[in-house]
């Protein structure tokens, strides 16, 4: 019993192994047959309706020839026509990108550095489709700012000379009453001039007031008498040489004369000290005036430099504005050109084609096992024969062949429709989709709605008839927009010259105002020095 069971077990195992090897060989044969049959089926899918496809192509060619607007179109298919027009539009866009130039460097040099030229600066070349390209240029023949003139050198000159001689000046130092007389006369003369400030007259009188105050203080304190008494006490034994004139009188009044001399010397010292103090103030103004005269050329040069830097900053800012306007115009022109290219590409792949192709693909997809939501796997409805189970029979593999045809047609249609919904659909792919959609509509007409092939032919006729007409209309519209952009940019640039001239004139006036302020400061310092000298002239 044990031996029998062992032989049965091994027999079952060897039978399972033989079945496994048989199924592997069967599957290999089946796949080889399937590949060959699927290839033949796909070739049939491409070639079976050759007569119908040839008729469609001949019909398409006749429709395209009837729709052409120029003789050049008769020698090229629609996709080649689209690519030729697109190449022209790409040249327009390339010229817009390559011809754009920045205005800022040359504009700053012409405005701020005075390097104006008679040759205008090319900012942009706006291409045209129907006419010659338009040059957008900026003239650089701006006026140069005039050089700032330094204040005249004699403006800094001031000669101080007292109107009093040596003896009157010495007398004023030792006799305050003399300066009272001088001051009264001086104040009378100064007061007759309306431009002399009242404070200046008061300062002139203040010196007299100081002298008179000292006199009153001397009288009140008796300083003069005290000095005479001290001198007489100290000089009690002193003798005047007998040979001197009036020696007897001098001997009797020696103490009084010495004391009075010391008293007058004290007044003179006070007056001379005030004179030196006030003269120092006046000469400080003179030194300031001298320093300003030495630095006048450097000050004017600094003003010139500041004006040039201010003009450069303004020119750089305004030049950036000009660059922005040119760049914006170029971008708008490129956007309009890109829109024309998109419309051109889209025109051979209209929504009617994409919708029909997707509808055919969806219908075929429903026949594929991938569309099912269960595990049926799309098994054939007819049960295979025993002979097919033993070895694959090509005549019983038609279901897989049909699925391969459905799958290939679905793949071609869905892939092409998806690609043609991109931003820039390929015109050659669009033309292939027209042909493939018509081919599959004829090949699978039994499972598709009626008149799909007829609708495709009518849509294709309408597309071809409108393609050159709408393309020419788009090109004319683009040319009009390019002309408007060029005209608008040129109008904005026409005011640049007047604006630059106004800005240079303003900078010139500002520089001259700075020089005028410098001259006014020089006059102020010089007048202050002159008035100080007038106020305390001795």
Instruction: Let me know if residue 198 belongs to a domain.
Output: yes
pLDDT tens readout for residues 492-523: 888 898 998 898 899 889 888 998 898 888 88
pLDDT of 345 above 50: yes
For 485, the 3-state DSSP assignment is: helix
Question: Which residues span the domain enclosing 203?
Answer: 153-290+510-535
Residue 272 lies in a domain: yes
Does residue 132 form part of some domain? no
**Is 192 a member of any domain?**
yes
What average pLDDT does range 351-357 have in this prediction? 90
High-pLDDT (> 90) share of the chain, %: 12
The secondary structure of 259-313 as a DSSP string is HHHHHHHHHHHHHHHHHHHHHHHHHHHHHHHHHHHHTHHHHHHHHHHHHHHHHHH
Kindly report the three-state secondary structure assignment for every residue of 134-191.
Answer: EEEEECCCCCCCCCCCCCCHHHHCCCCCCCCCHHHHHHHHHCHHHHHHHHHHHHHHHH
Beta bridge partners of 125: 135
Tell me the pLDDT band of 204, cut-offs 50, 70 and 90. low
Instruction: Convert the pLDDT of each residue in 215-228 to its tens digit.
Output: 677 777 677 677 77
Share of the chain above pLDDT 70, in %: 70
Answer yes or no: is 526 within a domain.
yes
Residue 516 belongs to some domain of the structure: yes
**Residues 430-481: tens digit of each pLDDT:** 988 988 888 888 878 888 887 888 888 888 888 888 888 899 899 999 999 9
pLDDT digits (tens, 9 = 90+) for 252-281: 666 677 777 777 777 677 767 777 777 777
Q: How far apart are the first and last CA of the chain?
A: 162
pLDDT tier, 69 (very low <50, low <70, confident <90, very high otherwise) = very low
CB within 8 A of 312, min separation 6: which ones? 108, 111, 112, 113
Summarize pLDDT for 91-117 with one digit per residue, the tens: 988 888 888 889 888 888 888 877 767
Residue 378 has pLDDT above 80, yes or no: no
At 79 the pLDDT is 84
- Residue 406 CA, chain-centre distance (Å), reads 59
Residue 190: pLDDT band (50, 70, 90) is low
In this structure, are residues 116 and 497 in contact, taking their beta carbons and an 8 Å threshold? no
Q: Is residue 24 part of a domain?
A: no
Least confident of 80-84, 124-128, 210-214, 520-524: 210-214
Evaluate if residue 120 carries a pLDDT over 50: yes
Judge whether 307 lies within some domain. no
- Say if residue 40's pLDDT is above 80: no
How many domains, the chain? 1
């Amino acid at each position: 019993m044990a031996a029998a069971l062992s032989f049965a077990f091994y027999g079952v195992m060897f039978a399972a192994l033989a079945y496994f090897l048989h199924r592997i060989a069967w599957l290999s044969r089946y796949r080889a047959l399937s590949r060959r049959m699927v290839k033949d089926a796909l070739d049939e899918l491409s070639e079976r309706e050759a007569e119908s496809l040839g008729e469609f192509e001949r019909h398409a060619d006749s429709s395209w020839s009837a729709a052409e607007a120029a003789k050049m179109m008769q020698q090229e298919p629609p996709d080649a026509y689209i690519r030729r027009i697109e190449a022209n539009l790409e040249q327009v866009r390339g010229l817009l990108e390559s011809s754009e130039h920045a205005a800022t460097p040359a504009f700053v040099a012409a405005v701020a550095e005075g390097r104006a030229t008679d040759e205008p600066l090319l900012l942009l070349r706006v291409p045209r489709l129907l006419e010659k390209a338009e040059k957008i240029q900026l003239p650089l023949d701006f006026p140069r700012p005039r050089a700032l003139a330094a204040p005249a050198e004699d403006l800094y000159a001031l000669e101080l000379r007292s109107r009093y001689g040596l003896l009157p000046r010495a007398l004023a130092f030792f006799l305050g009453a003399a300066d009272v007389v001088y001051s009264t006369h001086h104040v009378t003369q100064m007061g007759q001039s309306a431009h002399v400030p009242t404070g200046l007259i008061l300062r002139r009188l203040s010196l007299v007031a100081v002298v008179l105050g000292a006199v009153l203080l001397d009288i009140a304190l008796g300083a003069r008498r005290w000095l005479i008494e001290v001198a007489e006490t100290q000089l009690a034994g002193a003798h005047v040489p007998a040979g001197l004139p009036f020696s007897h009188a001098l001997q009797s009044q020696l103490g009084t004369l010495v004391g009075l001399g010391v008293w007058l010397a004290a007044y003179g010292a006070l007056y001379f000290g005030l004179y030196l103090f006030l003269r120092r103030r006046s000469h400080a103004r003179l030194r300031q005036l001298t320093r300003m005269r030495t630095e006048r050329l450097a000050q004017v040069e600094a003003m010139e430099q500041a004006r040039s830097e201010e003009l450069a900053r303004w020119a750089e800012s305004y030049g950036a504005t000009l660059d922005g306007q040119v760049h914006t115009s170029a971008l708008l022109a490129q956007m309009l050109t890109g829109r024309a290219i998109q419309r051109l590409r889209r025109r051979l792949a209209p929504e009617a084609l994409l919708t029909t192709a997707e509808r055919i693909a969806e219908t075929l997809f429903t026949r594929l096992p991938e569309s099912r939501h269960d595990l049926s796997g799309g098994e054939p409805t007819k049960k295979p024969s025993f002979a097919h189970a033993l070895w694959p029979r090509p005549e019983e593999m038609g279901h897989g062949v049909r699925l391969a045809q459905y799958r290939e047609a679905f793949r071609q249609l869905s892939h092409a429709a998806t690609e043609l919904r991109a931003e820039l659909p390929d015109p050659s792919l669009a033309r292939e989709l027209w042909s493939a959609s018509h081919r599959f509509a004829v090949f699978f007409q039994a499972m598709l709605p009626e008149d799909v092939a007829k609708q495709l032919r009518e849509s294709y006729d309408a597309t071809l008839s409108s393609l050159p007409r709408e393309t020419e209309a788009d090109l004319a519209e683009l040319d009009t927009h390019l002309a408007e952009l060029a005209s608008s940019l040129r109008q904005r640039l026409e005011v640049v010259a007047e604006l630059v001239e106004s800005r240079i004139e303003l900078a010139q006036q500002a520089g001259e105002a700075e020089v005028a302020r410098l001259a006014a400061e020089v006059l102020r310092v010089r007048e202050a020095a002159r008035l100080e000298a007038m106020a305390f002239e001795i």
